[in-house]
Amino acid sequence: MTATETPRQPIIIAANRLPVMRTDDGWAPSPGGLVRALLPMLRDSGGTWVGWTGEPDDAAEPFSVEGVDLQPVAISAEEVGLYYEGFSNDGLWPLYHDALRESTYDSDQWDAYVAVNQRFADALAATAEPNSIVWIHDYQLQLVPKMLREQRDDLTIGFFLHIPFPPFELFSRLPWRSEIVEGLLGCDLLGFQRPMGATNFIRSAQELLQADVHDRIIENPSHQTLVGVFPISIDVAEVEETAAGRLTRQRMSQIRARLGDPEVVLLGVDRLDYTKGIGLRLEAFAALLESGELDPERHVMVQVATPTREGVEHYQDERHEIERLVGEINGRYSRIGLPVVHYLYQTLGFEELIALYRAGDVMLVTPFRDGMNLVAKEYAAAHIDGDGVLVLSEFAGAADELTDAVLVNPHDDNALQQAIVTAVEMHRRERRERMAGLREQIQKSDVQGWADRFLSQLNAAPELPPIANT
Ligand code: GDG
């Protein structure tokens, strides 16, 4: 099978969330390139998506959206607290992101994680037709591959981790580290965003389970697990088409006018997450206003911070800190009617987001650690005008590919300030050269290509060559 063909066997996807959201008229597909890439593939292969509706205690019956069968997994309100907000987002999330915040390790949370993972495995085992392909997504479901294989050894099982896999020195803090590695080793193909994630996982498997590894293939008693690297991407065509629309262009001009027609619009767009380095970016902006290298009459910043995980304390603290900083900077540098930082704690519509990308002269993507960061890729895809500068953290997965960005270590505050000045002052010719490089890179691989590559590798997994021949 070539990389662009879609496997004919039914594919079953499992992810914490179903790819739908509730609307006034029922359910509609959730926004986002991942859902748009995977839904047609599921429809064409007669597949199913297994996941949670996002509503606690929702025991919804199976239903379908746009010709795709959806199989809800019920999660109780108590489990939302323990499995989702607790173990997944207050335990694993900080640990997997360089331990940027203290993780909670709580055995009640772990028990709920095991129970919900078992429920997903049971639902998959009951749904999957013989010999089908199952693709499991992300850190909330790391035990599912092993649990599923124990019930159904006829299936071909893949897993993709959207976030980083940490170095062994950090991962080994987790009281249930061996169980997680054993859970993931239940699959035939284990995919990471960056080579570093694959290497970190292999080392953990060797240290904790004395795994036998040859050329990225891990030997298990019953099967082999191939470890691979599959950097995710976006729906490039959709972003470009939206960016080219007449309404988007009008809205872009309107946004710039509303901002007071500044010389340079600096932009940040992130979920309000402490991994994204929003506060650091604001501090760098403030320091440059203070030093006079930026001028509030000429340089304006827009920061969109999308609400997320509001039940988790680290997120509440982060929001307070960001809003305090925005208030402090605006108090000091704004003029009547012309704030220097425009802060939106909101989720914008897709068209509005693309118009904002187009209005942004300098995009600041400065996470401390990020699996990939799709915002960086969306910004480049939206800049069909060939202009605009991306400042990108070396600690985002996207930095491996987007080497024409102004790459920066966000932990180094002087370097971050310098990167912003470099971007703001960059000559038009260099801006256009770099943007051409960024756009060429993202054209090479969109989200459909990513999914095709993963699935064709997974399809080939049972036919892996014997180790002696690799
Ligand atoms: C995880 C990993 C990895 C944001 N604000 C709005 C909005 N967004 C959209 C962006 C982008 C997506 O959300 C965010 O994607 P990221 O990749 O930046 O980050 P995470 O949510 O942390 O995602 C990450 C990703 O999984 C995929 O594997 O890249 O590293 O952490 O698409 O456009 N969309 C709309 N309004 C907003 O206000 N419509």
pLDDT in tens, 289-303: 999 999 999 999 999
Contact 268, 281 (CB under 8 A): yes
Question: What pLDDT sits at residue 469?
Answer: 35
* pLDDT greater than 50 at residue 468: no
pLDDT mean over 359-384: 97
Residues 6+ apart with CB under 8 A from 21: 27, 28, 29, 30, 54
Nearest-CA residue for atom 33 of ligand 1 = 375
Three-class DSSP category at 50: strand
Same domain flag for 279 and 218: no
User: Does residue 4 lie within any of the structural domains?
Assistant: no
Q: Are 148 and 159 in contact (CB under 8 A)?
A: no
Question: Which residues pair with residue 229 across a beta bridge?
Answer: 192
CA 374 / ligand 1 centre spacing (Å): 6
Per-residue pLDDT of 203-259, as tens digits, reads 999 999 999 999 999 999 999 999 999 999 999 999 999 999 999 999 999 999 999
> 233 in helix, strand or coil?
coil
Identify whether 287 is part of a domain.
yes
Is residue 222 located within the same domain as residue 266?
A: no
Count other Cβ atoms within 10 Å, centred on residue 401.
19
Whether residues 208 and 264 share a domain: the answer is no
Share of the chain above pLDDT 90, in %: 86
User: Ligand 1: residues whose CB is within 6 Å?
Assistant: 31-32, 162-163, 232, 269, 271, 304, 306, 347-348, 350, 353, 370-375, 378
pLDDT at 191 over 90: yes
Please write the tens of the pLDDT for every residue from 24-76. Answer: 888 888 877 688 778 878 888 888 999 999 999 888 899 998 889 999 999 99
The atom of ligand 1 lying closest to the CA of 232 is 28
Active site residue 370: yes
Strands 26-29 and 20-23: antiparallel
pTM of the model: 0.95
3-state class (DSSP) for residue 119: helix
- What distance in Å separates the CA atoms of residue 230 and residue 220, rounded to the nearest whole number? 22
Candidates 370, 404, 446, 452; catalytic one: 370
3 in any annotated domain: no
Q: Which residue has the higher pLDDT, 68 or 436?
A: 436
The end-to-end CA distance of the chain, in Å, is 20
Mean of the per-residue pLDDT values for the chain?
93
Name the strand (E) or helix (H) holding 159: strand 156-160
pLDDT at 4 (0 to 100): 45
Statement to judge: residues 17 and 148 lie in one domain: yes
How distant is the alpha carbon of residue 264 from its chain centre?
Answer: 28
- Kindly state whether residue 468 falls inside one of the protein's structural domains: no
Are 235 and 243 spatial neighbours (Cβ–Cβ below 8 Å)?
no
Structural domains counted in the chain? 2
Q: What is the pLDDT of residue 34?
A: 80
Alpha-carbon dihedral angle through residues 405, 230, 136, 15, given to the nearest 10 degrees: 20
Given this model, what pLDDT does residue 399 score? 98
120 plus 73 within the same structural domain:
yes
The yes-or-no verdict on residue 451 having pLDDT over 60 is yes
* Mean pLDDT, range 367-380, rounded to an integer: 97
Q: Which two tokens stand for residue 237?
A: 């065509």
Q: How many Å apart are CA 226 and CA 168, to the nearest integer?
A: 19
Res 6 pLDDT > 80: no
The one-letter code for the residue type at 182 is E
CA distance 462 to 470: 15
Amino acid at 132: S
Residue with tokens 């959709």: 238
Instruction: For residues 440 and 453, state if they share a domain.
Output: no
So what's the pLDDT on residue 33?
64
Instruction: Based on the fold, state whether residues 374 and 408 are members of the same structural domain.
Output: yes
373 burial type by CB count under 10 A (0-12 exposed, 13-18 middle, 19+ buried): buried
Q: Are residues 188 and 285 in the same domain?
A: no
Q: Give pLDDT, residue 10.
A: 83
Tell me which DSSP letter residue 75 carries.
Answer: -
**CA–CA separation, 415 vs 336, rounded Å?**
32
Choose the catalytic residue: 122, 162, 295, 400.
162
The whole-angstrom separation of Cα 68 and Cα 463 is 29
- pLDDT at site 239: 95
Number of neighbours of residue 346 by Cβ within 10 angstroms: 11
**Per the domain annotation, does 59 fall within a domain?**
yes
Q: What is the pLDDT of residue 253?
A: 97
CA distance 19 to 27: 10
Residues 286, 201, single domain; the answer is: no
Task: Say how many CA atoms lie within 13 Å of 144 toward its Cβ.
Answer: 32
Interval 393-429: pLDDT, tens? 999 999 999 999 999 999 999 999 999 999 999 999 9
What pLDDT is stored for residue 421 in this prediction? Answer: 98
Residue 8: per-residue pLDDT: 60
Ligand 1 centroid from CA 269, angstroms: 9
pLDDT greater at residue 121 or residue 445: 121
Tell me, in angstroms, the distance from the centre of ligand 1 to residue 91's CA: 20
Cα-based distances in Å from 291 to 285, 287, 295, 340, 398: 10, 6, 9, 15, 31
What is the residue with the minimal CA distance to atom 36 of ligand 1? 348
pLDDT level of residue 145 (50, 70, 90 thresholds)? very high
What confidence score (pLDDT) does residue 3 get?
42
From 93, 350, 365, 372, the mutation candidate for ligand 1 (largest count of ligand atoms within 8 A of CB) is 372
Instruction: Flag whether pLDDT at 5 surpasses 90.
Output: no
Domain extent, residue 417, equals 236-444
Least confident of 26-35, 323-332, 340-349: 26-35
**What CATH number is associated with residue 283?**
3.40.50.2000
Please tell me the distance between residue 33's alpha carbon and the centre of ligand 1 in angstroms.
Answer: 10
Average pLDDT value for residue range 311-335: 96
Q: Write the residue with the smallest CA distance to atom 1 of ligand 1.
A: 162
Structural domain includes residue 197: yes
What does the pLDDT read at residue 37? 76
Q: For residue 417, what are its two tokens?
A: 């300030």
Q: How many CB atoms neighbour CB 465 within 10 A?
A: 10
pLDDT at 41: 81
Quote the ligand 1 centre to 378 CA distance (angstroms). 10
The stretch 270-293 carries a mean pLDDT of: 97
User: Do 211 and 255 fall within a single domain?
Assistant: no
Q: β-strand 63-65 against 11-17: which pairing, if any?
A: unpaired
Instruction: Give the pLDDT band (50/70/90) at residue 467.
Output: very low
Q: Tell me the C-alpha to C-alpha distance, in Å, between residue 107 and each of 82, 83, 101, 110, 111.
A: 10, 11, 19, 5, 6
193, 303: one domain: no
Same domain, 178 and 148: yes
Task: Count Cβ atoms within 10 A of the Cβ of residue 70 and give its class: 0-12 exposed, 13-18 middle, 19 or more buried.
Answer: buried
Atom of ligand 1 nearest to the CA of 276: 22
Ligand 1 atom at minimal distance to the Cα of residue 193: 28
H-state helical runs in 138-194: 144-151, 168-171, 177-184
Q: With respect to residue 2, please indicate whether it lies within any of the assigned structural domains.
A: no
Structural domain includes residue 469:
no
Nearest to 219 by CA among 210, 230, 231: 210
Q: How far is residue 147's CA from residue 149's CA, in Å, rounded to a whole number?
A: 6
Which pLDDT score, from 0 to 100, does residue 39 have? Answer: 85
Contact by Cβ (8 Å): 51, 17: yes
Lowest mean pLDDT among 308-312, 441-445, 463-467: 463-467
